[in-house]
Structure 1
């Protein structure tokens, strides 16, 4: 029993201990490399969601315009700035709500696009490329023989 405890307490040699810094760097590179595609896909998805909300807003707005064109006083405004007809006011508020939601989706898409751009730039130079190879300087000039 004492021998087992002694074996467990022995210091491991450097060859036996694992260096995790390489694995950590590899993991970071993989996260950046794959994360840029994930954020790029999220940009497309968020834009699609914004488009859907905008289409809903357009439908409500067009329905409001149909009501307003149906009768001359159908879109009369009250003293508080709201439509006198409740159905017209409801369509107006619905259109505004869908537009606000579309704006939120677009703000998310812009933030995601910013993250995508940053990840593409980070992935551009992963840091494991060859060192800078100095080249002979280019000499440009004109020779005139005398």
Structure 2
């Protein structure tokens, strides 16, 4: 998927919003860039760089308060997951999960808070769909293995404060 297609898809959801952009250095990073769009109650992030080779881009929705700028930890997480995906022998798909083994926020190595969300579920982005956008959803280990039910949320926003 080309960058223009990603920008067009996100712009269709948020036509009046100005996104925050980051770029990644060429060496040591899998993604080339990422954007965060301010949405109602959350930041909607999308990475640029996997689509041309793997046919999909990663998205992530992170709970938002009144802050004007997105936190930095989701940008770090998107690139780390992109590197993980690139290291696999086979494709990733809707319904797979990754036991991150640590807070998905990168705590204490990033600006992210400590959280019990340590597993990432990959699911089709509920608004972008079409299999071209896989959304990362942070859950607890107990939620991932079915011991505890994941709270109902149609947009599947990752909220570190809930665990």
| Both structures adopt the same fold (TM-score exceeding 0.5) | no
1 or 2 for the larger relative contact order (CA 8 Å, sep ≥6)?
1
- Higher normalized helix content (fraction of residues): 1
* Shorter-chain TM-score range: under 0.3
